[in-house]
Structure 1
Amino acid sequence: MEEEYDVIVLGTGLTECVLSGVFSVEGKKVLHVDRNDYYGGESASLNLTQLYRKFRDGAEPPAEFGRDRDYNVDLIPKFMMANEELVRVLTHTDVTRYLEFKQVDGSYVYRDGRISKVPSNEFEAVSTPLVGLFEKRRLKKFLEFVQKWKDDDPSTHQGVDLDRMQAIDMFKKFGLEAGTQDFIGHAMALYTDDEFLYSPAREMYDRIILYVSSVARYGKSPYIYPMYGLGELPQGFARLSAIYGGTYMLDKPVDEILYDDNGKFRGIRSGEECAYAKMVVGDPSYFPDKVKPVGRVIRAICLLEKPIPQTGDLSSVQIIIPQKQLGRKHDIYIACVSSTHSVCAKGYYLAIVSTVVETDIPEKEILPALKLLGPITEKFVSVSNVTVPLEDGTTDNVYISKSYDASSHFVSIYQDIRDIYKRATGKELVIKRRPRQEEEQATLGSA
């Protein structure tokens, strides 16, 4: 502890671990501390005993649920898009050497009382039960237009200016009805509210292309998910940091944040020991006086013995319930995985329901989603605050991550990683490709 570092990182959530890995690769001397004795922080993956310790006051889990080691239950489930930036970060940093990914079998959306697959191309558009006959043709033309668009070829633009035309006007141009706009915006472009309708269509176009290209990469759905749960991700970046000299300390309490006479970060104290650095990156729980709550999220972890109905008995799916379907302001997300991802015992399924809390009775808000799951064997419910930093960190060199949102994807997390990096360094985050393990060995062999 009694050393000077370039960066101290507090908490081993994914945001913190990615940044720790990136800083280490760049040659910075990093100390990474977590008060917990496990990786992941608020986004950890727990075994069965840990789950019951957290939600059932340490009660013993039923023997019929199987072995402890068969469970890796995400407290905050997230699926990755196969072509998204975070996957490129994993690939370029070679963190993929520590991880194995498996595709999520289906991407679904709830509309008018039933679950349907999200159409991802013009062929699925003409067969989807989500829309009527005439709307199918309009949806097909819209998806064809999006996939054929080329910035430098005006003949593909059909009079659309993505940078000036609002998303809602682009929808109107193709005659798409409100319900179709709803599932395109929320289940394909993955927006969490309807503000996107009144923004330039460029971002929506980029998000739809990301969805479509991610589906095309593996088929079935655009999503992938790590074997043994999301807890593997921060551990992968922790290994990367360690390779480049990063120092990790788990089960290490942080008793005090130290500042100099000018109010800038100076270091941390744990017991009688101190460590010093020019700046700190940490999750909100380490800086309660420097964050503010901006909402609450409810999550329900449900253990099932059968696949979710209306999904073709798939072992893993994402289901998005757009806000308007239930007269809400926020979408409800269902992420379902199973023993095929090594997160629960064989014969069981894990479905996690999440949304932003809008009333004084949070669990009542997710009842429509819980009903979609079929019989629920066990359920663990939590409500947590969503917090954001009060300042950007440039004054005191304290860079705090945002709480994890209710969505079941990584869009907002990677945005936060990039934002913190830019504020802390003054530079855009550019991930340079590391040599693969086999390339490093070949270089050593020829030396």
Structure 2
Amino acid sequence: MDEKYDVIVLGTGLTECILSGILSVEGKKVLHIDRQDHYGGESASLNLTQLYKKFRPGKEDTKPDGLGRDRDWNVDLIPKFLMANGELSNILVHTNVTRYIDFKQISGSFVFRSGKIAKVPSNRSEAINSSLMGMFEKRRLAKFLEFVGGYKEDDLATHQGLKLDTNTMSEVYLKFGLETGTRDFVGHSMALWTNDDYLKQPARETVERIALYLNSMARYGKSPYIYPVYGLGELPQGFARLSAIYGGTFMLNKPVDEIVYGEDGKVTGVKSEGEVASAPIVIGDPTYFPEKVKKTGQKVIRAMCILDHPVPNTGNLDSVQIIIPQNQVQRKNDIYIAVMSSAHNVCAKDHYLAIVSTIIETDKPHIELEPAFNLLGPRKETLMGIADIYEPIEDGTKDGVFISKSYDSSSHFESTTDDVKDIYFRLTGQPLVVKPRPENEEDESAIRAE
């Protein structure tokens, strides 16, 4: 401990581990500490005993019979999927962390509409047969998606008279004559917005989000999502291994007694068990800096549901995402359902894990999840947890302390990688440039999505 480092990182959540890995690769001397005895922090994957200890402390023996061995379970605390062509996938390839992790494709993406779920089309044939739209609306949607796929910033002929930085997304939808139900489906299951605030905003970000969805879908088919075998806890461990290969020092189960500051108010190190490790920069998650973060006012509820059957009306697929747009159930925020199975080594054989999440809107949050529970069928077990969402009060440039944001309720990691890039820029003054390696045979298998 009694050494000098360039950077000290507190907590082994995904955001912290990505930054630790990238900074180590860049030649920084990194010390990485976690007071917990396992990797992942708030984004860990827990076995059955750990799961019950967290959500039912003192009542670990209440778990149902027939759930198999402890080691068969890797339950994500923060359920999210990776976009096949998203920023996190690019970072994984760029840093070679793909050497340590295998991925499987998520078999289908579904959206709730008019009281039932329908598959989000993954190809032209599915679009033609989709129950989401009538024939004329399908043609209008096809023209809209052709516009998104063909848009080029430097080619005015592809703009169709639209200015993405000034036209709102409502105006873009209006130009293509899309119905309200189609706007719901596109905005929430493709652009992946959690509410309808985006309709009043300039259209550029939404168009870029839809393009990312389409490109990710085209990469593997079926769905735009991939997921690590053995759960999301593999991701922080992969980046931690990268950091260690490049000289990073890791200490788990190590208490953090004090953040040390100099007379000028700038951080100088971290104290633990009487020793002080020195560094001019400290990165960490909100739990290490309660006095330097604030609640956003939002809380996320997550329910871990154990099933012994596939989700009804999904064609017995081994993994799916289901989005319940807020308008469909008279809410302000969407409800997300992430479903995995023993095919992903996250639960025992013949079992399925459905994790439901949303932003809390009432004083009876468990009732808010009923629309999702109704889609799942009988549940063998349901474990619920509520978490506040925190963000740093300051940007870290004054005192050298850079704090990540809490993980939100969204179904993917794009907001997490935005936070990584934001912290990196504030810390170094340079943008994080992720350059995927030239495509060759090795790269094509770099993210293996079976």
TM-score category, normalised to shorter length: over 0.9
Structure 2 counterpart of 1:328, from 308, 331, 334: 331
TM-score normalised by the chain length of structure 1: 0.95
Alpha-carbon distance in 1 for matches of 2:364, 2:254: 36
- Equivalent in the alignment of 2:165: 163
Name the counterpart of 1:111: 113
SS at match of 2:27: coil
- CA–CA separation in structure 1 for the residues paired with 2:27 and 2:437: 13
Give the Å deviation of 1:131: 1.8
- After superposing the two structures, state which structure 1 stretch, 217-226 or 45-54, moved more: 45-54
Q: CA deviation at 1:42?
A: 0.8
- 3-state DSSP of counterpart to 1:107: strand
How far is the alpha carbon of 1:123 from its aligned partner?
4.6
Instruction: For residue 5 of structure 2, give the secondary structure of its aligned residue in structure 1.
Output: strand
Question: Partner amino acid for 2:220?
Answer: Y
Q: Which residue, out of 352, 358, 362, partners 2:361?
A: 358
Q: By how many angstroms is 1:134 displaced?
A: 2.5
| Partner SS for 1:4 | coil
SS in 1 for 2:195: coil
Q: Check if 1:204 corresponds to 2:206.
A: yes
2:292 is matched with which residue: 266, 290, 296?
290
How many Å apart are 1:289 and its aligned residue?
Answer: 0.6
Contact 1:94 / 1:434 at 8 angstroms: preserved in 2?
no
Deviation at 1:191, TM superposition (A): 1.2
- Structure 2: runs of 5 or more not aligned: 443-450
Displacement of 1:310 after TM fit?
Answer: 1.2
Change (3 A) 1:112 1:383: same
Residue by residue over 1:20-77, the C-alpha shift from the partner in whole angstroms, topping out at 9 and shown as x without a partner, is: 0001001000000000000000110001111111122252344410011111110111
State the number of aligned residues: 438
**Does the 8 Å CA contact 1:122/1:143 hold for their aligned counterparts?**
no
Aligned to 1:253: 255
Q: Does 1:422 align with 2:420?
A: no
Q: What SS does structure 2 have at the residue aligned with 1:263?
A: coil
- TM-score, normalised relative to structure 2: 0.94
- 2:21–2:242: 8 Å Cα contact kept in structure 1? yes
**Aligned match of 1:413:** 416
What amino acid does structure 2 have at the position aligned with 1:146?
V
**1:119 Cα deviation (Å)?**
2.7
Provide the residue aligned with 1:442 in structure 2: none
Corresponding position: 1:136 with 2:131: no
Map of 1:380 onto structure 2: 383
Instruction: Verify the 8 A CA contact 1:93 1:434 in the aligned structure 2.
Output: no
Contact 1:12/1:39, CA 8 A, preserved across alignment: yes
Residue 56 (structure 2) aligns with: 56
Contact 2:90 / 2:436 at 8 angstroms: preserved in 1? Answer: no
CA distance in 1, matches of 2:438, 2:412: 28
Aligned to 2:22: 22
Q: How far off its partner does 1:158 sit? A: 2.4
- Paired residues of 2:111 and 2:118 also in contact (CA < 8 A): yes
* CA drift at 1:254: 0.4
Which secondary structure state, in structure 2, belongs to the residue aligned with residue 115 of structure 1? strand
SS of 1:20 mapped into structure 2 = helix
Distance in 2, Cα, partners of 1:426 & 1:400: 16
Distance 1:391 1:12 in 2: 22
Query: Could you say which residue in structure 1 is the equivalent of 2:236?
Result: 234
| Cα pair 1:5 1:30 within 8 Å, conserved | yes
Measured in 1, the distance between the counterparts of 2:435 and 2:190 equals 29
For residue 4 of structure 1, report the CA deviation from its aligned partner: 0.8
1:200 Cα deviation from its structure 2 partner: 2.0
- Helix, strand or coil: the match of 2:227? strand
Deviation of 1:127 (Å): 2.3
**1-side partners of 2:96 and 2:422: how far apart?**
22
The code of the aligned residue for 2:430 comes to K
1:109-167 alpha-carbon deviations (Å, 9 max, x no partner): 11111111113555543322112233222112212222233334333332222233211
% identical aligned pairs: 64
2:6 counterpart residue number: 6
| 37-46 vs 154-163, greater mean Cα deviation | 154-163
Shifted more, 332-341 versus 153-162: the winner is 153-162
CA distance in 2, matches of 1:319, 1:435: 34
Q: Counterpart in 2 of 1:443?
A: none
Relative distance call for 1:125 and 1:347 in structure 2 (3 A) is same
How far has the Cα of 1:413 moved from its partner? 0.4
Between the aligned partners of 1:321 and 1:206, the Cα distance in structure 2 is 22
Distance 2:143 2:165 in 1: 20
- Counterparts in 2 of 1:293-332, with a 5 A limit? 293-294=295-296, 295-332=298-335
Question: Is the 1:43–1:76 contact (alpha carbons within 8 Å) kept by the matching residues of 2?
Answer: yes
1:121–1:140 CA contact under 8 A, matched in 2: no
Distance 1:172 1:91, change over 3 A: same
Aligned 8 A contact 2:39 2:236 in 1? yes
Q: Which amino acid aligns with 1:344?
A: C
Task: Say if 2:90 and 2:435, in contact at 8 Å, map to a contact too.
Answer: no
Alpha carbons 2:64, 2:380 under 8 Å: kept: no
Matches within 5 A, 1:141-160: 141-160=143-162
Q: Tell me the alpha carbon deviations over residues 189-236 of structure 1, each in whole angstroms, 9 at most, x when there is no partner.
A: 111222221222221111111111111110100000000000000000
SS of the equivalent of 1:142 reads helix
Deviations 1:77-108 (A, max 9, x none): 11001001110110011000000000000011
Residues 46, 72 of structure 1: CA spacing in aligned structure 2 closer, same or farther, 3 A cutoff?
same
Cα deviation digits, residues 225-256 of structure 1 (max 9, x gap): 00000000000000000011000000001011
State the match for 1:180 in structure 2.
182
